[in-house]
Amino acid sequence: MVVTSPHPAVEIPDIDIWEFLFERTNREWPDDKIIYICPETKRHYTFRMVRDAALGFGMGLSSSWNLNQGDVMSIFAHNSIDTPAVIWGCHWAGLTVAPSSPLNSVREYAFQLTDSGAKGIVTQRSLLPTAEKAARLAGLRQDRIILIEDAPDATLPYQHFTTFIPTNTFTGQQSPRIKVEPSVDLAFLCYSSGTTGHPKGVMLTHTNIIANILQNRACDSKYLTWHSSSISKSESRGDKIVGFLPFYHIYGLTSLVHVSLYAGLSLIVMPRFSLQKFCFYVQDYRATFANVVPPVILLLAKHPVVNKYDLSSLKMLNCGAAPLTKDLASALYERIRVPVKQGYGLTETSPTTHLQPWDRWDVWGSIGYLLPNQIAKFVDPYERELPVGNTGELWIKGPNVFKGYFKNPQATRNSLSADGFFKTGDIGHVDDQGNFYITDRIKELIKYKGFQVPPAELEGLLLSHPKVNDVAVLGIYDEHVASEIPRAYILPVKGVERNTETEKEICDWLAERVSSYKRLRGGVCWVNEIPRSPTGKILRRHLKDNIEKENVD
C-alpha cells in the first residue's frame, strides 16, 4: 500500500534556482544578513555579497568563455564560503554544476571530468596537483582551471574567480541571464554509485533542488529561522549552523548551501571536520543547530575533549547518511542534553525524503515522517507492493526524485519503476504513526562515515592486482567509529602467501589509487571461494551470512 506524507503539500514553483533564491518577493531578511562565515579567515558573505559575486561571475564567465547552456562546470574543492557564489554564478550562466570530492585521487577525478564532459574546473590552490593531472588525462586545457579563495596570484597561470567579475557588473549594462527549463535542465550532476556498480552522474534538475529545499523547510521552518527562534537558547539573533558536511555531497549541498541562503540562516563553514574546532565554533558563535553523521555523534557522546566546551546553545542535531543506533543517540543526550533527530535521503532524491519532526526526536531509531509531496511504498523481492507495516524495499516518488543517471539509460531503467518510483535499495518499514525505519540495505553500497564506498569499484581495482584471483568487498560495522568499514575477502592467486605482509601490500597498493575514505580499513580476509551466482554476480548476502555464522560459531 502507498503511504502518503502527513505534511500538507507545498507549492513548488516552476522557476529556476536563481529566480527561486535571488528574485523572490517574499524574502523577509535584509540584503546584509550574513549567510556564510569562514571561522578561520573571518571572511563572510552577506546575502547581497553572494548574489553580486554570483551575478558577476556568471556574467564574466558567459562573456569570456565560449559556453553553451547545459555545459558542465566541475567544482573540486574543500568547503569554502566562495563555493555558493561560484555555483549560482554557473547557474546564472545556464551551466550544470558537477561537484566533486576533493579527496578524489587523480584517477577518480579524471573519470568524473571525462564522464561529465566538464568544460572547466573550479578548484583551490592546494588541490592543483590533482586537478592539473586529472585535467590533462581528461583532455581539458589548463586555462580552463579557475581558482577560488586566497587572493588572485599573477604568478600562477590560472584565473581567479573574482577576476571574471566585470568591474561594471552593477553600474554597466547587465547581460540577460541564460534561461533554463527548470524541470528539464540540470542544476547538478552529483556522483553516486546508486544501488550497484561504479559512480554515476545523478541528474538533478532545478525543480528537484527547489522541491527539496521547500520539503526540508516544511519540517524545519518553525524552528530554524533568520531571526531568533521561539525555543532558541542563543542570545544572538537568528539561528546559526555549524556546517562541516562536504558541499560536494548532496546532504551538504542542499541542507547547508541551499537551505541556509533560502532561509536566511548563518552557516559557519568548516573546510573539514575536527571535533575540537566543531565544539569551539558551537561555543564561540552560540550555534543552535548542526547536521551530522553517526561517527560525529559517537565523538560528541564519548570523547573527553567535549567536556571543555559549552555546547548549550545547540537546540538540536540532525543526523543521517548512515544508520544511527538508539544507544548512541541516547548516550549523546545523556551527556550533553542535546537531542538528535534523524533524517534520511539519497543523492537521487535531492536528497531529503524523511526527517524526524522536532517534537518527535525521541522516537528512537526512526528516520521520521515522509516529507511533503512524496509517496512511498515497500515492496517484496518480486517488487510486489506490501501492506503497511511489512518490511521490504523502500520506493519513493516525488518532485525531488532525479531524472536518471547521466548517459546511462540502463542504470536509469533499473532504478526507476515504470510508474516513476525510485528504488532506494534500502530495507525498512513504517509504523502506524507514520514513523519510517531503515533496518537494512540490499544494494551494494558501503557507507564509511557517511561517504560512499562502492564495492564494485574497489573489487574492479583489486582484481587487477597480480596476487588477487577473486575478491569481494563488504562493509563491516565497527562500533569504535560508529561506521561501516570496507573489508576485502580475497581468494589469492595460487602460491601467494596468505599472510599479513601480503595483506599490507594489497591494502597499500589500493590506498595509492583511491580516496582515503575508500581504504580497506577493515583489512583483508583470505577465503577459498567467492560465492557467485551463475551469472557471475557476487552473492554478498551469502558471504555476509557465512561470516556472521563463523563469528557466532
Part of the chain binding ligand 4UW (CB under 6 A), chosen from 51-59, 130-138, 341-349, 505-513: 341-349
DSSP code per residue over 275-339: HHHHHHHHHHHT--EEEE-HHHHHHHHH-GGGGGS--TT--EEEE-SS---HHHHHHHHHHH---
Kindly give the residue spans of alpha helices, DSSP state H, lying in 65-194. Answer: 83-92, 106-116, 128-137
For the chain, give me the number of helices (H) and strands (E)? 15, 27
DSSP code per residue over 348-378: GGSSEEEE--GGGTTSTT--BEEPTT-EEEE
What distance in Å separates the CA atoms of residue 350 and residue 55, rounded to the nearest whole number? 24
Query: Judged by CB under 6 A, does residue 251 bind ligand 4UW?
Result: yes
Whichever of 351 and 372 has its CB closer to ligand 4UW, that residue is: 351
Query: Judged by CB under 6 A, does residue 192 bind ligand 4UW?
Result: yes
Whichever of 54 and 87 has its CB closer to ligand 4UW, that residue is: 87
Whichever of 251 and 489 has its CB closer to ligand 4UW, that residue is: 251
If you search the block for the grid coordinates 544572538, which residue do you land on? 236
Q: Are strands 468-478 and 266-269 parallel, antiparallel or unpaired?
A: unpaired
Query: Judged by CB under 6 A, does residue 459 bind ligand 4UW?
Result: no
What distance in Å separates the CA atoms of residue 383 and residue 393, rounded to the nearest whole number? 8
Whichever of 94 and 345 has its CB closer to ligand 4UW, that residue is: 345
Part of the chain binding ligand 4UW (CB under 6 A), chosen from 159-167, 420-428, 517-525, 545-553: 420-428
The amino acid occupying position 313 is: S
- 316, 287 in Cβ contact below 8 A? no
Residues in a beta bridge with 432:
none
Binding pattern to ligand 4UW, positions 434-453, x when CB under 6 A? ----x--x-----x--x-x-
Size of the site for ligand 4UW (CB under 6 A): 29
Query: Judged by CB under 6 A, does residue 351 bind ligand 4UW?
Result: yes
196: how many CB neighbours lie within 10 A of its CB?
A: 17
- Least distance to ligand 4UW from the beta carbon of 111, Å? 18
Query: Judged by CB under 6 A, does residue 99 bind ligand 4UW?
Result: no
What distance in Å separates the CA atoms of residue 322 and residue 498, rounded to the nearest whole number? 33
Contacts with ligand 4UW in 275-334 (CB under 6 A)? Answer: 291, 318-323
If you search the block for the grid coordinates 563463523, which residue do you land on? 550
- Least distance to ligand 4UW from the beta carbon of 514, Å? 17
Whichever of 455 and 492 has its CB closer to ligand 4UW, that residue is: 455
What distance in Å separates the CA atoms of residue 288 and residue 283, rounded to the nearest whole number? 10
Part of the chain binding ligand 4UW (CB under 6 A), chosen from 114-122, 144-152, 276-284, 419-427: 419-427
Contacts with ligand 4UW in 355-374 (CB under 6 A)? Answer: 355, 367
Query: Judged by CB under 6 A, does residue 255 bind ligand 4UW?
Result: yes
Whichever of 116 and 318 has its CB closer to ligand 4UW, that residue is: 318
- 132, 145 in Cβ contact below 8 A? yes
Whichever of 229 and 352 has its CB closer to ligand 4UW, that residue is: 352
- 193, 201 in Cβ contact below 8 A? no
Query: Judged by CB under 6 A, does residue 402 bind ligand 4UW?
Result: no
Whichever of 112 and 347 has its CB closer to ligand 4UW, that residue is: 347
Whichever of 166 and 339 has its CB closer to ligand 4UW, that residue is: 339
Binding site for ligand 4UW (CB under 6 A): 192, 250-251, 255, 291, 318-323, 342-347, 351-352, 355, 367, 424-426, 438, 441, 447, 450, 452
